[in-house]
Amino acid sequence: MEEEGSPCKEDEISAMIKDRSMIYLDIVKNYPCSFGKVTSKKERQTKNLCSQNLTYGEIVYSSIAEVFEFIKEEYGSFMKPGGTFIDLGSGIGKGVITGALLHEFEECLGVEILDDLYQKSTELREVFYDYMSKLLKKKSNPFDYSVIPEIKLYHADIIEFDWAHADFVLINSTCFDLDLMAKIYEKAKALKEGSYILTLTKKLPANDEFEMIFQAKKPMSWADATVNLYKKVK
């Protein structure tokens, strides 16, 4: 039983998510979602690209953090530093920054097919490193990190790229078509048992290798979207 006046675990977790969400917003303050949208639209227009897969939108830090805390609480994963986070279709890098603020991952990867978005994500990575190196020098900071997670960004196609070693895969897949989702699933079969995949709106095709362990509507940059969380069970 909690003592009167002492915060319970849930309150501590929400306070931690709130604190880190403020830090996230401070890091990305000069890179609003509208900036990513315009950057993406310009490149698609110039190159005459019209695939729905390229539609731009962004995750919301606290929505992903709530799901991540669920994994820690229910499955005891990510209790020690390490592991690989990847955002498939990383845009200007907000998902990758999110990963690096959630946990002391060894590496946080982002893979983006549009060149201009990829270029902007490398800029945002510098903002992140600069901010975090100053913050971690302060005695009172909300992180227990001994090192800043390494952010690696790639201008590549997620279907060509090798992401079999990832422990946590984020896919902002609301606008991904069924063909791309089927290809992602084929590649995901190579992930280790015990790894996690989070998809937005679109589900993985029915299968017995990934168990859906959580589903809920959470705010994203455009509206609430269904978060589907899977764990690889074989």
How many CB atoms are closer than 10 A to CB 115?
11
Of 23 and 158, the one with the shorter C-beta distance to ligand SAM is 158
Q: Where does residue 210 rank: exposed (0-12), middle (13-18), buried (19+ CB within 10 A)?
A: buried
Alpha carbon separation from 1 to 7, 8, 16, 166, 223 (Å, rounded): 11, 9, 21, 38, 38
Which residue, judged by CB position, is nearest to ligand SAM in the bound state?
Answer: 89
Judged by CB under 6 A, the number of residues near ligand SAM is 23
Place of tokens 């896919």: 171
In angstroms, give the least distance from the CB of 208 to ligand SAM. Answer: 26
Question: Is 95 a residue that touches ligand SAM (CB under 6 A)?
Answer: yes
Of 53 and 62, the one with the shorter C-beta distance to ligand SAM is 53
In angstroms, give the least distance from the CB of 177 to ligand SAM. Answer: 10
What gap in Å lies between CA 36 and CA 203, rounded to an integer? Answer: 25
Q: In terms of DSSP bridges, do strands 210-219 and 196-200 run parallel, antiparallel, or are they unpaired?
A: unpaired
Taking a C-beta distance cutoff of 8 angstroms, is the pair 229, 214 a contact?
yes
Of 81 and 187, the one with the shorter C-beta distance to ligand SAM is 187
As a dihedral over the C-alpha atoms of residue 22, residue 28, residue 32, residue 33, rounded to 10 degrees, the angle is: -90
In angstroms, give the least distance from the CB of 23 to ligand SAM. Answer: 17
Taking a C-beta distance cutoff of 8 angstroms, is the pair 79, 6 a contact?
no
Taking a C-beta distance cutoff of 8 angstroms, is the pair 67, 98 a contact?
no
In angstroms, give the least distance from the CB of 63 to ligand SAM. Answer: 10
Question: Is 113 a residue that touches ligand SAM (CB under 6 A)?
Answer: yes
Question: Is 197 a residue that touches ligand SAM (CB under 6 A)?
Answer: no
Question: Is 65 a residue that touches ligand SAM (CB under 6 A)?
Answer: no
Task: Please list every residue from 152 through 191 that binds ligand SAM, using CB under 6 A.
Answer: 157-159, 172, 175
* β-strand partners of 161: none
Q: Please select the residue that binds ligand SAM; options are 87, 107, 116, 167, rule is CB under 6 A.
A: 87
Question: Is 57 a residue that touches ligand SAM (CB under 6 A)?
Answer: yes
Q: Please select the residue that binds ligand SAM; options are 100, 117, 151, 153, rule is CB under 6 A.
A: 117
Q: Which residues bind ligand SAM (CB under 6 A)?
A: 40, 53-54, 56-59, 87, 89-91, 94-95, 111-114, 117, 157-159, 172, 175
